[in-house]
């Protein structure tokens, strides 16, 4: 079966999956789903792939949440008998699933207990006790622990720009993604992605260490690490790296998977790829971080993908 036929079915299967995960789904909806699933072998295949996509992207988890908050979105109207799934019903169910965190999820997320947090699309500048400042990107979290002999911070999620006040007697150290960055000067940027972290020096120098080694970076240099693996430093465009601080997202042949992660931090909700092969597609462009939906439309127009806006919180991308 070609992608042109199969992908719309996967989107439809995702809609069913969203509705069925609502614990108040009516029996009529479940019966309608079973009829749809059994009516065509392609429907069963799409159902299996939809479940795999759901599991791979962990779609139940919101892009970010604050401790103690509860989603208060309307549940589907049960006042009338249903013979199947209407557009309004699955939109409401999808919104509830995409936004509400399941019981136990909040307690297990370390970023929810961080000292400083931002929601999707929010930027926040934090002034620390030593005179240093940290600018947090959207959906980011930072914890700070200062002592007499050292100033320590941990970037738990997202991205941050550090401007460090001089204090030779107390080094400034940031832990992030299994690596450690020690300031040897003034300003640097750290970004956590799904599989790696990057450190970029805006002023002076920093020392980056992992279990696999240590490297010293100078102004205009960047290093990426994943676990113990530490890549070689490279020169980068500082204006592009810091574009998020001016509501600009700059990508130069960046894999679509990484682009989506940045867009999610600005937009909120989830952006799902139905085919993991799409993650490697290169994206080049400059986008307004306040207009993410426009960025998604532009990306869909230049890459061989189709865009499906299932709800305000759930966008699906599939092969064209």
Range 64-81 average pLDDT: 33
Residues 231 and 128 in one domain: yes
Distance CA 192, CA 175 (A): 11
Give the total number of structural domains in the chain. 3
More confident of the two residues 113 and 67:
113
pLDDT in tens, 261-286: 999 999 888 888 878 888 999 999 99
Range 297-305 average pLDDT: 93
Residues 185 and 121 in one domain: yes
Residues 62 and 124 in one domain: no
User: What pLDDT was estimated at residue 53?
Assistant: 66
Range 301-313 average pLDDT: 85
* pTM score, whole prediction: 0.72
User: What pLDDT was estimated at residue 41?
Assistant: 87
Residue 95 has pLDDT above 50, yes or no: no
Residues 115 and 221 in one domain: yes
pLDDT in tens, 141-155: 999 999 999 999 999
Work out the angle between the directed axes of helices 27-38 and 41-57 (0-180°, nearest 10): 120
Task: CATH number of the domain at 187, please.
Answer: 2.60.120.1440
CB atoms within 10 A of CB 298: 14
Residue 102 has pLDDT above 70, yes or no: no
Per the CB < 8 A criterion, the answer to whether 227 and 202 are in contact is no
Residues 100 and 122 in one domain: no
Residue 111 has pLDDT above 70, yes or no: no
Instruction: Identify the domain containing residue 149 by its residue range.
Output: 110-237
């Amino acid at each position: 079966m070609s992608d042109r036929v199969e992908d719309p079915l996967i989107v439809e299967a995702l809609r069913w999956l969203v509705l069925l995960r609502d614990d108040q789904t009516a029996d009529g909806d479940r019966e309608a789903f079973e009829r749809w699933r059994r009516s065509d072998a392609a429907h069963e295949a799409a159902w299996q792939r939809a479940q795999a996509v759901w599991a791979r992207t962990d779609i139940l988890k919101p892009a970010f949440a604050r401790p103690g908050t509860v989603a208060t979105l309307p549940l589907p109207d049960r006042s009338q008998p249903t013979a199947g799934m209407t557009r309004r019903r699955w939109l409401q169910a999808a919104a509830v699933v995409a936004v509400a965190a399941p019981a136990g999820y909040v307690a297990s997320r370390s970023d929810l207990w961080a000292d400083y947090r931002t929601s999707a699309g929010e930027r926040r500048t934090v002034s620390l006790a030593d005179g240093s400042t940290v600018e947090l990107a959207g959906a980011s979290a930072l914890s700070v622990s200062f002592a007499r002999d050292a100033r320590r911070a941990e970037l738990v999620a997202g991205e941050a720009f550090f401007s460090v006040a001089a204090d030779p007697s107390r080094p400034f150290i940031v832990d992030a993604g299994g690596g450690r960055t020690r300031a040897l000067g003034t300003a640097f940027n750290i970004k956590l992605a799904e599989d790696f972290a990057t450190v970029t020096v805006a002023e002076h120098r920093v020392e980056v260490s992992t279990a696999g080694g240590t490297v010293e970076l100078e102004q205009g240099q960047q290093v990426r690490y994943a676990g113990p693996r530490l890549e070689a430093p490279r020169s980068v465009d500082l204006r592009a790296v810091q574009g998020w601080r001016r509501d600009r997202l700059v990508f130069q042949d960046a894999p679509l998977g990484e682009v989506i992660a940045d867009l999610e931090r600005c937009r909120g909700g989830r952006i799902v790829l139905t085919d993991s092969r799409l993650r490697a597609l290169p994206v080049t462009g400059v986008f307004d971080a306040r207009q993410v939906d426009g960025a998604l439309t532009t990306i869909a127009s230049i890459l061989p993908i189709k865009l499906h806006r299932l709800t305000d919180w759930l966008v699906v991308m599939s092969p064209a």
